[in-house]
Amino acid sequence: MEALKRNWYKFSESKISVVGLVLAVTFIFLAFFGKYLVPYPEHIGSYVDFTKTSLAPSSKYLCGTDVMGRDIFSRIIGSFRNTLMMGVIVLLISAPVGFIVGVIAGYHKGKPIDTILMRITDIFLSIPPLILALAIASVLEPNLTNSMLAVTVMWWPWYARLSYGVTSSLRTENYIIYAELAGAKLPHIIFKEILPNCLSAILTKMTLDMGYVIIMGATLSFAGMGEQAPKPALGSMISSGVKYMPAQWWFTIFPAIAIMLIVLGFNLLGDGISNMLGTEEI
Amino acid sequence: MPSLLMIILRRLGWALVVLLGLSMIIFSLMRIIPGDPARLALGPTVPEEIVEQYRERMHYNEPLPIQYYYWIAGVVKGDFGKSTITNRPVSKDIKEFISATAELVIWAGIMPIFFALLLGVLGAMYKNRWPDYLIRFSSYVIIATPTFVWAVFFLLIFGYWLPILPSIGGRLTMGFSVPSVTGLMILDAFIDGQPAAAWDAFLHLSLPALALALPHTMQEARITRSYMIENEGKDYITMITSQGVPRNVINRLFLLKPSVIPTISIMGLDIASIFANAFLVETIFNWPGISRYALKAILGKDINAVCGVVMLFGVIFILTNILVDIVAMILDPRIRQSRSK
């Protein structure tokens, strides 16, 4: 409790981190409960009302309506669940996978298994992630699950690098050597001795990465490889709105602002946590 | 101690291994596409015998490793096969489209070097005063916005509301014609003695380049600022200050160089992500570059084109990183020493 209070004090010292926390918590809250709070929940799916198409923003339709006559505000909030899912699932899979690869390679530093694992990691890092993610997503059926898969495949190497660095510097520490001498098995050393030392770095990186994964997901969806219509996705809302610019600017501007605020929230939060824990930005 | 040349040679050797691995991944990836590649290439109306002949000629009937062997043997000679979309050799397509992208990426890569250093140094000089707050706040907002959103914003602002810069319609206004020498339009226009065309090409280039460069500029500015501030607290700076060396001399000679090296290392990675983001920016601005071509190939499942372009990006990315590493090693003796171990 005392530690929590101290951490909160340190975290809230920087007002801008608190702004990030508020933005991120609001986003997560809306991702869970937004469906029940938006003015027109039925507009989130396939709904058509040709009497109300392309209306400019007003008090009735905060962000205007789209070509199908659907409320854009409701659709933006409605897309939050998938946006959040994208970030959470990608990170929840890629962080452990990367950790295991990195820790095994780092623990066996200098042996063939280290070389093999880290060279495979290097191959994935040798190409801009977006390009291979696009290629992977294009091979598969375009939908949310596959776009998550494509991003995950490109994301674990960063965690492998991170855990590799920590592990290879830890493996000569006395407590690891004692554990080995006491006959501890590899899982014990990985999860009980090394993991606690990597955890704060990994968690910080996960918060910092959240924004980047969301940008990546939005980019794939912008290219037409994410959630398919009529379900709402921020990226595809922007790409389908571009051709109506500048007359119907609200088609694109509001989803764009939504992405910006979400990513901003997680970036500020991540910076705050990294300052609080004193972990270096990696 | 191995020399700089040895380090570079070793890096290049590893780069070959990595590229070989990348080629295997991308090749197997593109061969697991559901559907018959021969059918995809020829279309549904072509009779079965011709498809079978094509399959035989392209070795599609052989097992995957043999197919890979035939493909990689061609790649080594610069032959990536034929694109099914443009119906031309992929290498020819690449040659045609790469120059437009190169021009874009060069500008988008150069811009941050100046502005990031300028903003980073400004932020550090005015630490915790309004210029610093302004730069930091705008960098947060700019980094949080995906590149394609910037491209869309610029299209809206400059294309429609404030039409001072050309935003759609490729690299040149109709009416100019510039013979291709280097492929870089601005340079070609100068070589041909047409400054007006060069200026026009520059204007066409500026918006997409700006959209690509913006987030990286701010990211690098942040890194420069934080290293400036970190180094400012170091003992050697305190010592020179106490000796009475003027502030601007300290900044220029003793503070800037060590603070800039980390930024330069980041720039290597940034060039790669500029290439990646060029995918959408080129499409939005209708820029006739390799990324727009690649996106079309990816969406159209054009196997040979995708493999070729991905390999090309891999080579560019690896070479840029080696180059950046060399620059960092030349600038910083500490890095030189740690790499040579």
B130 touches chain A (CB under 8 A): no
- Tell me the three state secondary structure of residue A65: strand
**pLDDT tens-digit profile of B172-211?**
776 677 777 777 777 787 788 788 888 888 888 888 898 8
Cis peptide before B179 (omega within 30 of 0): no
Q: How far is A47 from chain B (nearest CA, A)?
A: 26
Q: Measure CA B162 to chain center.
A: 29
Mean pLDDT over B24-35 rounds to 79
pLDDT average, residue stretch A226-251: 84
Q: How many CA atoms lie within 13 A of B137 on its CB side?
A: 10
Q: Which of A116, A127, A260, A274 to mutate to test the interface with B (most CBs of B within 10 A)?
A: A127
Neighbours of A230 (CB within 10 A): 14
3-state secondary structure of A71: strand
Q: Does B153 touch chain A (CB under 8 A)?
A: yes
Choose among B22, B147, B152: nearest Cβ to A127: B22
ipTM metric: 0.82
What tokens were used for B114? 């100046």
Looking at the complex, report in whole angstroms how far the Cα of residue B271 sits from the nearest Cα belonging to chain A. Answer: 9
Q: Would you say residue A281 has pLDDT above 50?
A: no
- What CATH topology corresponds to A10-278? MetI-like fold (1.10.3720)
- Which pLDDT value is given to residue B341? 52
As a whole number of angstroms, the longest Cα–Cα distance in chain A is 77
The rounded distance, in Å, linking the Cα atoms of A140 and B85 is: 19
Please tell me the predicted confidence (pLDDT) of residue A85. 92
Least confident of A118-122, B124-128, B146-150, B332-336: B332-336
Does residue A281 contact residue A162 with C-beta atoms inside 8 Å? no
* Chain B residue with minimum CA distance to A124: B22
A24-70: pLDDT as tens digits? 999 999 999 988 888 888 888 888 888 888 788 888 888 888 888 88
Structure tokens at A212: 């980047």
d(CA A161, CA A170): 14
- Cβ pair B18:A252 closer than 8 A: no
Distance (Å) from the C-alpha of residue A264 to the closest C-alpha of chain B? 5
Query: Which strand (E) or helix (H) includes residue B108?
Result: helix B90-125
Place of tokens 């295997």: B24
Residues in chain A within 8 Å Cβ distance of B142: none
Which of B148, B159, B207, B137 has the alpha carbon at shortest distance from A256? B148
In this structure, which amino acid lies at residue B205? L
Average pLDDT of the segment spanning B64-74: 86
Of A149-153, B246-250, B259-263, B285-289, the range with the highest mean pLDDT is A149-153
Residue with structure tokens 């101290």?
A6
Residue A112 is predicted with a pLDDT of 92
Q: What is the pLDDT of residue B307?
A: 87
Could you give the C-alpha distances from B257 to A280, B221, B238, B254, in angstroms and in order? 21, 14, 17, 7
Torsion angle (degrees, nearest 10) of CA B317, B105, A87, A28: 160
**Residues B22, B286: Cα–Cα separation, whole Å:** 29
